Structure 1
Amino acid sequence: MLRLLTTLLIAPLITACIAGPSGRAKDAPELQAVPAVEVTRYMGLWYEIARYPTSFQKNCEGTTAEYTLRDDGRVNVLNTCRFGTKDGNPRSASAVARVMDGSNGARLFVNFSPIPLLPGQGNYWVIYLDTDYQHAVVGEPSGRFLWYLSRTPVITPETRAVLDAAAQAQGYDLSMLKETEQK
């Protein structure tokens, strides 16, 4: 019981320490995920185009995320970045994600830590996804995390404008974005 209580008290503190301040306006409407994500179509390799800075991605460039569907319906996550520059030494982090009930695949609970996160509405919300599953914007309700993802390492200015508009419509502050060096 003491161990559970300690975990429940420490987990929010750890989360607060690894994330930055909220990047969503205090008066922003409630965050909305896309209506549905076909999880099997979302699987595969994604390149990070931009992100809100976090301590766990400090000095990361050339960042990718690879999602693989498991037999049990959960998703293996492998995030890889290159330290310092797009050509730096690679480092990776693995996690297992599960789709949140009632989210039609648009909200996931991803846990990279051996310390279990508190139950909730998920910490990985797909808030924009094009119809071809080539570009996505991912955030979560606190506004501390935001990622622009693409199937290609470089996007057009037109695509970037669409991603920016999607994030801005959800109340995200675009000035907090850090560009990810890919190519």
Structure 2
Amino acid sequence: MTKPYRWRLALPLILPLAGCAAAPSGPQAPEPVKSVNMAQLYTGRWYEIGREPTKLTDGCVAGTTTYLANAQGKLVQRDACHTGTPEGKERAFQGTVVVLDPGQNNKISVRYRVWGIFTLPYTYWILDHGKDYGWFIVATPNMHIVSMLSRNPDPPQSEVNMLTAKVRALGYNGPLEYPARFPAGGGS
């Protein structure tokens, strides 16, 4: 088979992707303003309080994001949730984190390993965080993924309302969902 012929076979697969890249963009996240203290935000476990509904998270509750160092000393982000209930089967993905703006530390790229075969990169922006690093709001630059996270596995409704108001003030007007969370005291 000649090389030009191979390209003709690949065109039906490539052209739709090119169309996606040229499609008009929807809402864009504002540029992050606050710098991030890496030792305070990119360590330990965070609990997902609310998020934009996506196919990936459909049926997922009691979500967590955990930051840890791997054997090579690289920062790793592990995202997990449970199917149906906080006691349900765990679903998890993890990837290595690269800070895209050293010094500000509010833009990261996470390269998730998928089925151990390939990596899927996602860029996240930390759009806001508490002074005490008790909560933060993260989104992709195109706001296709928006999440509110807290150090508290079951924060008071006043914190949930405050985070929701902040997400709206940042320009996200789409649907939000508040899946079941771990009870106070943690969970797995």
1:99-138 equivalences in 2 (<5 Å)? 99-102=99-102, 104-112=104-112, 113=114, 114-117=118-121, 123-138=123-138
- What is the TM-score when the length of structure 1 is the normalising length? 0.75
Shift in Å, 1:35 = 2.3
Q: Describe the SS at the equivalent of 1:178.
A: coil
Distance 1:87 1:135 in 2: 24
- The answer to whether the 8 Å contact 2:83/2:89 transfers is yes
Q: Describe the SS at the equivalent of 1:55.
A: coil
- The answer to whether the 8 Å contact 2:137/2:147 transfers is yes
Partner of 2:36: 37
State the AA in 2 paired with 1:105: N
Distance 1:139 1:68 in 2: 20
Q: Describe the SS at the equivalent of 1:149.
A: strand
Higher relative contact order (CA 8 A, sep 6+): 1
Partner of 1:155: 155
Q: Describe the SS at the equivalent of 1:81.
A: strand
Shift in Å, 1:79 = 1.2
Partner of 1:82: 82
State the AA in 1 paired with 2:39: T
Count of paired positions: 160
- The answer to whether the 8 Å contact 2:137/2:167 transfers is yes
Distance 1:32 1:70 in 2: 29
- 1:30-80 CA-to-partner distances (Å, cap 9, x unmatched) read 612132101111111000001111222221111111011458774201111
- The answer to whether the 8 Å contact 1:34/1:129 transfers is no
1:131-146 equivalences in 2 (<5 Å)? 131-146=131-146
Which protein is bigger by CA-based radius of gyration?
2
State the AA in 2 paired with 1:95: G
Q: Describe the SS at the equivalent of 1:77.
A: strand
Shift in Å, 1:128 = 1.1
Partner of 2:51: 51
Shift in Å, 1:102 = 5.0
State the AA in 2 paired with 1:164: T
- CA RMSD after TM alignment: 2.8
